[in-house]
A = this chain, B = another copy of it.
Amino acid sequence: MFDLLLKGSVVLPDRIIEDGWVAVRGERIGAIGTGEAPQATKMIDAGTDWIIPGIVDGQTHATSYKGLPGFEATSQSALAGGITTMVDMPYDNPDPLNTLERFDAKVQAVHDYSHCDVALYGTVAPGQGTDLMQPLADRGICAFKLSLIESHPVRFPRIPADEILDILTASVPTGLPVGLHNEDQEIVRAMIERHKAQGLTRPEHNETSRPEVAELSATAQFMELGAATGAHVHIVHLSSPRGLQMIAEYAARGVRATGELCVHYLHFDAARDIERLGARMKVSPPIRSGMIEDLWQACEDGLPALISSDHSSWPIDNKLAASIFDAGAGIPGLETLGPSFYTDAAERYGEEGAVRRLVDYMCLKPAEFFGLAPRKGAIAAGADADLVVLKRGPKPFDASQTRDGLNWSPYDGETFTASVATTVRRGEIAWDGAQILSTAGSGAFIPRN
């Protein structure tokens, strides 16, 4: 007698079982089968809809606006988006996660507020030294994050190259990847000043003020620091195919180099969408023009390590500025991550092709990357019972109904061809397609293993 049984088209790592079922015992998957199913206390029959693993969103900023209590709304939005594990960035409000105290506080906040599971990035402040890196790694953070450009002097500072070198060196014994926000500060700041001086402050000037070369030169610099130290160097978002290609070239000559894509780069095009969306699509690095098809090809070539949302918890007020340079960067993305990717992929590869790629880039790969496998990322006997029913068929996306407490989105009004009908998080039905059924604090901190 199992506790829960899901029936449907079960998407396993290597195949899809059309007439499949997944049986849950407690928090874990007990069995996977086809045909006659065992008995269970509860049963969800998804028919021919997809049953996929809970999505592992490799990049979120849950607590960068409201601080640690921000987990409450954000984690509900995650579950509504089929995300059962968020990998949260360290740039918390008011202080980043760079000490053991802040680590402990953030883990406590997960246990107090979060509805979904959470893995954590750590960081190192300028001048801090590297002494806490190993202790943080020992407590289970899954990666470190740095930036070559300052967005905020305390939470999101620029780290000088010599300190990056130290941090990379110190990261090697931890085995953890070191992620980088890859924009050259001198280029970006000077370009913005020039734009401002010329009165070029409309939304379309965001792209021109943050040129691709600012990304590529920062990326190349970081790759060389990685090559010199043997560290795992990871670019947390690349807006163009050339960056992914560069990383592949470094990897081919033995550098532990990886790069990540965010789903909005696969969906929006600056030339096409900027007039309509304005600051609503401002992210950093910016969404560029004419990149979409080559980025999809890069995915087909296996170049990204994973695809994430880079969800930011900014209210829309943050976007309403006369100058694009005064508007905040970052967009909400938890409830659109899976459906947007699926919709765009299905146009190119059909529905089965879409769901396979979604599971690959948003479940299997991020779980492996952040050391959360074999618990997370796959439907497998013994794994955590993180399961999502992905319902096939068109559904309009209405941002006013999102659970992130923000209620706006650049995707507002689009129609996706799949929607999240059920989310099971460690055996508990946490989202039923209409309501969040879990309680705050039911989420857990998942240490890297």
> Using Cβ atoms and an 8 Å threshold, which residues of chain B touch A160?
186, 190
Which of B15, B218, B381 contacts A17, CB < 8 Å? B381
Which of B34, B187, B249, B380 contacts A165, CB < 8 Å? B187
Interchain nearest-CB distance for A234 vs B (Å): 17
> Using Cβ atoms and an 8 Å threshold, which residues of chain B touch A38?
31, 38
A213 at interface, CB cutoff 8 A: yes
User: A352-407: which residues lie under 8 A (CB-CB) from chain B?
Assistant: 364, 374, 378, 380-382
A191 at interface, CB cutoff 8 A: yes
Q: Which B residue sits closest to A14, measured CB to CB?
A: B13
A35 at interface, CB cutoff 8 A: yes
A368 to B161 CA separation, bound complex (whole angstroms): 37
A252-278: CB near B (< 8 Å → 1, else 0) gives 000000000000000000000000000
Q: Which B residue sits closest to A33, measured CB to CB?
A: B31
A10 to B31 CA separation, bound complex (whole angstroms): 13
In the complex, identify which listed stretch (A57-65, A219-227, A332-340) lies at the interface while the others stay far away.
A219-227
> Using Cβ atoms and an 8 Å threshold, which residues of chain B touch A23?
31, 33
A228 at interface, CB cutoff 8 A: yes
A344 to B275 CA separation, bound complex (whole angstroms): 52
| A34 touching B382, Cβ below 8 Å | yes
| A14 touching B187, Cβ below 8 Å | no
Given contacts A32-B31, A187-B162, A15 and B378 within 8 Å (CB-CB): yes
A218 to B165 CA separation, bound complex (whole angstroms): 13
A212 at interface, CB cutoff 8 A: yes
| A380 touching B15, Cβ below 8 Å | yes
| B212 touching A217, Cβ below 8 Å | no
Which of B14, B36, B211, B364 contacts A30, CB < 8 Å? B36
> Using Cβ atoms and an 8 Å threshold, which residues of chain B touch A184?
161, 221
> Using Cβ atoms and an 8 Å threshold, which residues of chain B touch A217?
161, 220-221, 224-225, 228
Interchain nearest-CB distance for A427 vs B (Å): 13
Interchain nearest-CB distance for A121 vs B (Å): 24
A205 at interface, CB cutoff 8 A: no
Q: 20 other contacts beyond A165-B213, A221-B221, with CB at 8 A cut-off?
A: A12-B380, A15-B374, A15-B378, A17-B380, A29-B33, A31-B34, A32-B32, A34-B381, A34-B382, A161-B186, A161-B187, A161-B217, A162-B186, A162-B190, A165-B187, A211-B228, A217-B224, A217-B228, A218-B221, A220-B224
Residue positions of A touching B, CB distance < 8 A: 10, 12-15, 17, 19-20, 23, 25, 28-36, 38, 160-163, 165, 184, 186-187, 189-191, 211-213, 216-221, 223-225, 227-229, 249, 364, 374, 378, 380-382
